[in-house]
Amino acid sequence: MFDKIKDSIQKFSSRNVADREAVEQLTKDIQRDLIRADVDVSLVSDLTDEIKEEALEEDLPSGLSRKEHVLKIVYDRLEDLLGEEADVEVEPKNILLSGLYGAGKTTTAGKLADFYRKRGLKVGLIAADTDRPAAYNQLKQIADDVDAQFFGDPEAENPVKVVEKGMSQLDADVKIVDSAGRDSLDDDLKKELSAISESFSPDEKYLVMPADIGQSAREQTDMFDEAAGLTGVIVTKMDSSAKGGGALVACANSDSSVQFIGTGEKMGDLEQYDPVDFVSDMIGQPDLESLLEKIEEMDADPEAILEGEFTMQDFKEQIESVTQAGVMEEMMQQLPFSSNQLPDNMQDMTEGKIENYTIIMDSLTDEEMRDPSVIKGSRKERIAEGSGTSKSEVGELVKHFKQTKNMVNKFDKNSMKRGNMKDMMSKIGF
Ligand SMILES: Nc1nc2c(ncn2[C@@H]2O[C@H](COP(=O)(O)OP(=O)(O)O)[C@@H](O)[C@H]2O)c(=O)[nH]1
Ligand SMILES: [Mg+2]
């Protein structure tokens, strides 16, 4: 799926410059390829407009090249387009499969049984397609192949009775009901589905659809959802249709998310749906990995974090690191000058004062820790009362914080943040 997009992205990656022309070529290629995959045209044009706008923004996030920035945007937008990752719990449950003729229901029933059995649950299949005698044999054979229990009655005419009997007779954790299809969702099928559904209250009601219906997956999903109340969708034949992308995007825009995709005729050919897989494949795994790594590193980069304001929380951490390590005392002993040569606010940092500050800071609200400039008037009173100190002591802490903040802004934020007082002192000039 989306092989052409993959080529377009590769082409873009190998360019020397990611200028406007390159971005426009890339979005044009992506547009053409999505439309070829039968993705709704208006969704495609919204997506490419967004990519173009963001990709050509004046300000690049620091640390990323223009090319990387564009790839990241393409990655994010395509991932959004493809919807949510599957949310499949491996636990006992009853599942009802519905869908039109030839969608892949019976095959998928077997694949699901195989999926849960491999994960340690006892599985059973129930043949509720009583329309065609061949349906019974097909499911029985599949049950045999995947080592699942089986219940069915080749003579039965009423699927509800079959389901009721099957539910009581099978000793399985996961029971999967395979129902009959139609050419279209007519009243007859609606009635049958709701009768079956009422007879055993399924935990999951999945609509099974083949990938080749492309964007009309949206309409079909909405209709089945209205008639039977879906909990999810399974898109089959992803291996043999060029319209799979259109079907997946269509489902992402409906109320029912894709849970599994079928990728072949064999019982093992079932995957939990994960849009990231597709996007990774399009962008090219090595490129994407190195890009994501880079972004992660940027997020974790202390320089980047330090761009924010020095807060009371930072001040507290700094003070705590000083007291914990006894750094202050050690530092005083090592310094070749007396304490009155220290800057004012350092000179004041006696052990007693540090303890007092810590107690006051424990009575501050989160807001006050973030922005101590709000500590005024009645707030000061409240804090003094809460910490068993006085208004003037609270005022002193705030003043001390401000002095330190000014100093931090002047000198090196990193060493302050890391509580490395020695380093900081050397920066100040001692
Ligand atoms: N290539 C491919 N074929 C599939 C897939 N799922 C089902 N089929 C085939 O589609 C045909 C119809 O499947 P079936 O399960 O009988 O559909 P039903 O009428 O909905 O029960 C069969 O030939 C299956 O082998 C799939 O994911 N990939
Ligand atoms: Mg069938």
> What's the CA gap between 229 and 380, in Å, rounded?
58
- Per DSSP, 362 falls in state H
Compute the average pLDDT of residues 369-398.
Answer: 87
Higher pLDDT, 270 or 336: 270
The helix (H) or strand (E) run that includes residue 324 is: helix 312-325
> What's the CA gap between 290 and 236, in Å, rounded?
32
Regarding the beta carbon of 264 and ligand 1, being less than 6 Å apart is answered yes
What is the model's pLDDT at position 346?
55
**Degrees (nearest 5) of the Cα angle 153, 159, 165?**
60
pLDDT band at 142 (very low <50, low <70, confident <90, very high): very high
Compute the average pLDDT of residues 215-241.
Answer: 95
292 close to 75: Cβ distance less than 8 angstroms: no
End-to-end CA gap in the chain? 64
Residue 265 has pLDDT above 80, yes or no: yes
pLDDT band at 413 (very low <50, low <70, confident <90, very high): very low
What is the model's pLDDT at position 272?
94
Residue 394 has pLDDT above 80, yes or no: yes
Q: Which residues contact 53 (CB under 8 A, 6 or more apart)?
A: none
CA of 58 to the centre of ligand 1 (A): 50
Residue 336 has pLDDT above 70, yes or no: no
Which listed ligand is nearest to 240 at the C-alpha? 1
Higher pLDDT, 67 or 211: 211
Report, in this order, helix, strand and coil percent for the chain, each rounded to 5. Answer: 60, 10, 30
CA of 151 to the centre of ligand 2 (A): 15
Find which of 68-82, 222-236, 390-404, 415-429 is predicted with most confidence, using mean pLDDT.
Answer: 222-236
Regarding the beta carbon of 77 and ligand 1, being less than 6 Å apart is answered no
Phi, psi dihedrals of residue 212, rounded to the nearest 5°? -70, -5
Compute the average pLDDT of residues 189-206.
Answer: 94
CA nearest ligand 1 atom 10, residue: 104
Higher pLDDT, 317 or 306: 317
CA of 181 to the centre of ligand 2 (A): 7
Report residue 140 as tokens: 């029985």
pLDDT band at 414 (very low <50, low <70, confident <90, very high): very low
Higher pLDDT, 188 or 349: 188
Compute the average pLDDT of residues 222-238.
Answer: 95
Assigned architecture for domain 3-83+284-300: Up-down Bundle (1.20)
Regarding the beta carbon of 99 and ligand 1, being less than 6 Å apart is answered yes
Find which of 307-311, 322-326, 426-430 is predicted with most confidence, using mean pLDDT.
Answer: 307-311
Regarding the beta carbon of 38 and ligand 1, being less than 6 Å apart is answered no
Which listed ligand is nearest to 136 at the C-alpha? 2
Compute the average pLDDT of residues 194-200.
Answer: 94
pLDDT band at 428 (very low <50, low <70, confident <90, very high): very low
Compute the average pLDDT of residues 206-215.
Answer: 97
pLDDT band at 301 (very low <50, low <70, confident <90, very high): very low
Q: Which residues contact 368 (CB under 8 A, 6 or more apart)?
A: 312, 374, 375, 379, 383
What is the model's pLDDT at position 348?
55
Domain residue ranges in the chain: 3-83+284-300, 93-273, 304-428
Q: CATH class for domain 93-273?
A: alpha beta
Report residue 256 as tokens: 């029912």
Regarding the beta carbon of 239 and ligand 1, being less than 6 Å apart is answered yes
Within 179-311, residue ranges assigned H as helices are: 187-200, 217-228, 244-252, 275-283, 285-300, 302-305
142: burial class by Cβ within 10 Å (0-12, 13-18, 19+)? buried
Please list, residue by residue across 329-362, b when 16 or more beta carbons sit within 10 angstroms of its beta carbon and e when fewer do. Answer: eebeeeeeeeeeebeeebeebeeeebebbeebbe
Residue 119 has pLDDT above 90, yes or no: yes
What is the model's pLDDT at position 72?
85
CA of 131 to the centre of ligand 2 (A): 10
Regarding the beta carbon of 263 and ligand 1, being less than 6 Å apart is answered yes
> What's the CA gap between 332 and 64, in Å, rounded?
44
> What's the CA gap between 215 and 39, in Å, rounded?
6
> What's the CA gap between 381 and 388, in Å, rounded?
10
CA of 241 to the centre of ligand 1 (A): 13
CA of 236 to the centre of ligand 1 (A): 7
Regarding the beta carbon of 236 and ligand 1, being less than 6 Å apart is answered yes
Residues near ion ligand 2 (CB < 5 Å) are 105-106
Residue 151 has pLDDT above 80, yes or no: yes
CA of 163 to the centre of ligand 2 (A): 15
Residue 324 has pLDDT above 70, yes or no: no
Q: CATH class for domain 304-428?
A: mainly alpha
pLDDT band at 426 (very low <50, low <70, confident <90, very high): very low
Report residue 326 as tokens: 């006894």
**What is the length of the chain?**
430
Q: Which residues contact 305 (CB under 8 A, 6 or more apart)?
A: none
pLDDT band at 419 (very low <50, low <70, confident <90, very high): very low
Regarding the beta carbon of 181 and ligand 1, being less than 6 Å apart is answered yes
- Side-chain-side CA neighbours of 304 within 13 Å: the count stands at 10
Regarding the beta carbon of 98 and ligand 1, being less than 6 Å apart is answered no
What is the model's pLDDT at position 303?
43
CA of 106 to the centre of ligand 1 (A): 7
Within 37-171, residue ranges assigned H as helices are: 41-55, 66-81, 105-118, 133-145, 159-169
